[in-house]
Amino acid sequence: MYRLSWPCAAFFAGLGLSLLIKVEIIHDDEANVYVATSPELKGLVVEAETLDELEKEARDLVPELLTLNLPKLHAKAGTQVSFFQAPVAV
C-alpha cells in the first residue's frame, strides 16, 4: 500500500499499488454531527449524524475526488480509506 500524500503516488498507483488515504474524524458537539476531512485528498469534507453514515459517504466520495484531483491517475490501483478519530482532551 502506498499513501496518497507520499511522492509519486500517481506513478505507483499506475503500477497497480493500492493507495491509502487517511481520513480524520471529529465530532462537532454543537451541531451533534461527525465530520470527516483529509489533508491528503483535497475537497474531502463530509458530515453525518452517525459514524456508519459518515464512513459510507466518505468512501462513496473518494473515487470522484481522486478523479478530480489526480486526472492522470490510472484506476488500476485499489483505494483504501483509513479512518481515525483525533484524541479528545478531557
pLDDT in tens, 39-65: 989 999 999 999 999 999 999 998 889
* Higher per-residue pLDDT: 22 or 14: 22
Measured over the CA atoms of residue 6, residue 44, residue 29 and residue 33, the dihedral's sign is negative
pTM for the whole thing?
0.79
* Sequence-separated (6 or more) residues with CB below 8 Å from residue 35: 25, 26, 27, 28, 45, 46, 47, 54
Q: Which domains does the chain have, with CATH numbers?
A: 2-85 (3.30.2390.10)
**DSSP string computed for 52-82:** HHHHHHHHHHHHHHHHHH-TT--TTS-EEEE
